[in-house]
Amino acid sequence: MSLTLLSRADAVLREGSAAEPDAPPTAVVSWRSRLAILIAFGMVYGAVMGAYGDSLGDRPLQMLYSALKVPVLLTVSFAISLPTFFVFNTLFGLRDDFPRSVAALSATQAGLTVILSSLAPVTAFAYVSGIGYRPAILLNGLMFATASFGAQAILRRSYRDLIARNPVHATMLRAWLVVYAFVGIQMGWILRPFIGDPTRPTQFFREEGLSNAYVVVIAMIWEVLFGAR
């Protein structure tokens, strides 16, 4: 990973900070750089996520699959959610600000992957400590939730001027978060496995058909907390 990319990743984390309170998101890091950051840092965490197992030597293919899937998860979820966001911005008279809104959201996506990659050592340590397969799935979900929470700092700073100009942007931002979270969770389920059960053959997609992520996750949490029934 080049020093240039690392410096741009640092700029994303500082996006909209007090040092540059009036700078629009596009003035700091270009969209090409944001995409490069998302892909590179997303692949770093994905590779670690896919390393679960008794031996790293048995997991290179799953690590590759997972490294590819994390950027796909984020970019496809973003692309699916964007048309709805565009329509509602238009309906509420915010269309002129749409480019800046998208720049802020894409910077947040890039920042999320930088935060995720910083959490990779924690995930690796949990794996080495002998965590079970289902707890490992929940752990990675927690890592994504933590990174998403941290990325909100970038999003709030990037949206600060937009909200100051028109408070309706705050409502649109909340709507975006709901839509994106809904799409992202289901997309993550469709793209499974990200970790891969070591007792099963390595595969890019599960053989089972589509199902509802929310029902499955609730059942998994219940099993981890209270044991199988």
Using one digit for the tens of pLDDT, what is the confidence trace for 43-100? 999 999 999 986 655 688 999 999 999 999 999 999 999 999 999 999 999 999 999 9
Q: Distance between CA atoms of 113 and 110, rounded to whole angstroms?
A: 5
In this predicted model, what pLDDT tens digit does every residue of 92-122 receive, in sequence order?
Answer: 999 999 999 999 999 999 999 999 999 999 9
Does 49 or 201 have the greater pLDDT score? Answer: 49
How far is residue 167 CA from its own chain's centroid?
A: 26
pTM: 0.84
Q: What single letter denotes the amino acid at residue 102?
A: V
At residue 18, the pLDDT reads: 54
At residue 179, the pLDDT reads: 94
At residue 31, the pLDDT reads: 87
- Nearest 5°: phi and psi at 180? -65, -40
pLDDT of residue 40 exceeding 50, the answer is yes
Which string of DSSP letters, residue by residue, matches 41-57? HHHHHHHHHTT-SS-GG
Q: Distance between CA atoms of 72 and 131, rounded to whole angstroms?
A: 26
Q: Distance between CA atoms of 197 and 131, rounded to whole angstroms?
A: 13
At residue 222, the pLDDT reads: 73
pLDDT of residue 27 exceeding 50, the answer is no
Q: Distance between CA atoms of 12 and 151, rounded to whole angstroms?
A: 10
Residue entry with tokens 């705050």: 170
pLDDT of residue 168 exceeding 60, the answer is yes
Supply the range of the domain harboring residue 23.
3-226
At residue 57, the pLDDT reads: 56
Picking from 88, 69, 93, 19, the residue whose alpha carbon sits closest to that of residue 194 is: 69
Q: For the chain, how many structural domains are there in total?
A: 1
Structure tokens, 106: 């894409």
The average pLDDT across 23-33 equals: 66
**How big is the chain by its Cα radius of gyration, in Å?**
19
